[in-house]
Structure 1
Amino acid sequence: MTDRFEELKTYVAVVEAGGFAAASRRLTLAKSAISRRVRDLETRLGSPLMNRSTRQIHLTDAGQEFYEQARRILAELNDAENAVSEKHTDLQGRLRISAPVSLTAHCLIRVIDRFVTANPRLSLEFDTDDKMTDIIRDGFDLAIRIANLRDSSLIARRITTVRHVCCASPSLLERYGRPNQVDDLAAMPGIRYSNVEESRYWSFSNDRAPIMKSQLCFSNGDAIREAAIAGLGVAMLPTFIAHDAIRRGELEIVLREHMRPPIGMYAVFPSSKQIPAKIRAFIDFLLANLGDEPFWDRDILSRAEINRFSTNGGSLTVKRS
């Protein structure tokens, strides 16, 4: 017989995931087990909590009230456990992290070895996707996001500054010439990122945007970089993706004086009275190892450029809807 805690945990997972199949993936339990737990809970309470259809669920009034109470109980239990675990130095369990594909490959993997070595009882599970996930619905402990964040009920901590450079291969610059002004790009082929509106992608300082002929479009920054190296067009790339190719001479930065305003890299996680020790430890580690002059910028930008194109520092903030 399932205990009450597991019933509450399962019910909240079904509601926040939006269905039994998604909750099954989130809890790594069979869908039949998820359904049975919810059914047993409804039987014990003597009241239906949700109406089911083939694709979605709809909470009854009793189901909505029970969800709010159950979520509060689980949050308070989590806070109590975190308060006790704060007294122990060893971190343990699992930390589920959502992060962009290229950022994980080029930046996080290069530094997390020290974090893993220092915390042998803690496992890190990365889900890499360039699209923004719902970390509460999908059961993540935190997400790494590169964006101008919208208001939400989540907590955001700025990790570092992300800068972009306009770059092209030497062979492309030989064919078209080196652009001196932003408007010169209009005569050159472009490669753009499909997850961002074209007008935002081709933005420079002072809101200048050329009319580009973006002949190629990719949903992944590494693909854009490789296409640019092949001489297929000019690209606007974050420096953490472009820096190795620039150091090797495969790409060259153009229009340095018109670099577009940078954006922040944030660690985002659900609001709680007490931040879990494993989340705080991982964020502190990223701050210590990335900071405002991350290694990928120091290699290819001057100190003046790093200082000129910086975002404001930030501490832990709650952004409320």
Structure 2
Amino acid sequence: MPLRTADIQAFLLAIELGGISAAARHMGLSKSVVSKRISDLERELGVSLLQRSTRRIMPSESGRYFYEQARSAMNQLDHAAQSLSDSSRELCGELRILGPMSFGTRWLSPLIARFAKAHPRLHLILELDDRLVDTGYERYDVVLRITRLGDSALIARKLATSRRVLCCSPEYAEQAGLPQTVDELVRHACLGYSNSTPGQVWAFREDGPDAVVKTIAPRGGVFTANNGEILRDAALAGSGLAVLPRFIVWEDLQAGRLLEVQPGATPLDDGIFAVYPRSAFSSAKLRSLVQFLQTSLAPQPWEVPDAVPAVADIAPLFAQAGAAR
């Protein structure tokens, strides 16, 4: 059965990217060419691989089976090519990376650009999306996640720590006052992250020797978004309190546009992880990327503690805000 690699690749990309148009853009071809390649593949196999609709394509039962087998075979070919290049210390092939939106645009993209320049034979594909995905099905080689990672069948390598801060604008502090305890947060306008259930619960470690962890569900209905930079903009506008990563707000804290609120407790840190399937562990290109990111992110450039006003520096504002309540 004379199957063409180009036809198989078109089918794989259509499944992974959610449509023929997206696959065509990725391959630099017209939609009609990619559609014809998939039709040719279906004709050679004698089965329908896709269930087409006006909104999205989905694999048929036969298509899902063929996808799993074909993707595995294509990965083996890619690994074989990589093994040959390892002897010359050159990375080649394709490496698909998924990262979170805000971290990706602010910190990840320039690092990936540097890595790509150092390895010109390696085809890097960087996509940004805050949704949690199943790396086994989506077929990303590595996914960067910012979370407190639990048990997983995947391998996770920690790249850095993401400290979070409770913050608000000086205007909000003056109008509403500042909470002195975690329990007082429920009486404040809070800005919620809607992309995942854990993002809708704020967890704090109370100051003191016992280090008790307290969680609250902040009051809803004020402002909710699925992106941290949108929440930062809302906090800057004085809409309420937000718990945000320092890598998003450190410049605003440094300039005094946002204040770090310290209600006798500190938001729990997240970790920045590279997550990938166990089957990818032997990939030299993946190991090289993870090691590069670990080294590059180790200084954590968004951590500039000496440049951020301490609580004592804004004590007059705290006193003024408290009197306004």
Q: Return the TM-score normalized by structure 1.
A: 0.75
Letter in 1 for 2:300: P
SS in 2 for 1:178: coil
Write the distance in 2 (CA, Å) between the matches of 1:223 and 1:80: 44
Partner of 1:207 in structure 2? 214
CA contact (8 A) 2:192 2:242 kept: yes
Map 1:265-276 → 2, pairs under 5 A: 265-272=272-279, 275-276=282-283
Deviates more, 1:259-268 or 1:23-32: 23-32
CA contact (8 A) 1:26 1:139 kept: no
Map 1:60-209 → 2, pairs under 5 A: 60-61=61-62, 66-92=66-92, 95-109=95-109, 111=111, 114-120=114-120, 122=122, 124-133=124-133, 140-149=140-149, 154-197=154-197, 200-205=200-205, 206-209=213-216
SS in 1 for 2:203: coil
CA contact (8 A) 1:204 1:259 kept: yes
Shift of 1:23: 4.0
Count of aligned residue pairs for this structure pair? 298
CA contact (8 A) 2:192 2:220 kept: no
SS in 1 for 2:71: helix
Write the distance in 1 (CA, Å) between the matches of 2:110 and 2:91: 21
Gaps of 5+ in 1: 303-321
Confirm whether residue 226 of structure 1 aligns to residue 225 of structure 2. no
SS in 2 for 1:297: coil
- Residue in structure 2 matching 1:240, options 244, 247, 253: 247
Write the distance in 1 (CA, Å) between the matches of 2:117 and 2:47: 48
CA contact (8 A) 1:193 1:219 kept: yes
Deviates more, 1:132-141 or 1:237-246: 132-141
Taking a change above 3 Å as real, the CA distance of residues 65 and 222 of structure 1, as seen in their structure-2 partners, is: closer
Letter in 1 for 2:47: P
Shift of 1:108: 2.4
Identity %: 34
Write the distance in 1 (CA, Å) between the matches of 2:22 and 2:106: 30
SS in 2 for 1:233: coil
Partner of 1:299 in structure 2? 305
Partner of 2:286 in structure 1? 279
SS in 1 for 2:190: strand
CA contact (8 A) 1:239 1:297 kept: yes
Shift of 1:232: 2.5
- After superposition, the CA RMSD in angstroms is 3.5
Taking a change above 3 Å as real, the CA distance of residues 29 and 229 of structure 1, as seen in their structure-2 partners, is: same
Letter in 2 for 1:77: L
Write the distance in 2 (CA, Å) between the matches of 1:50 and 1:111: 38
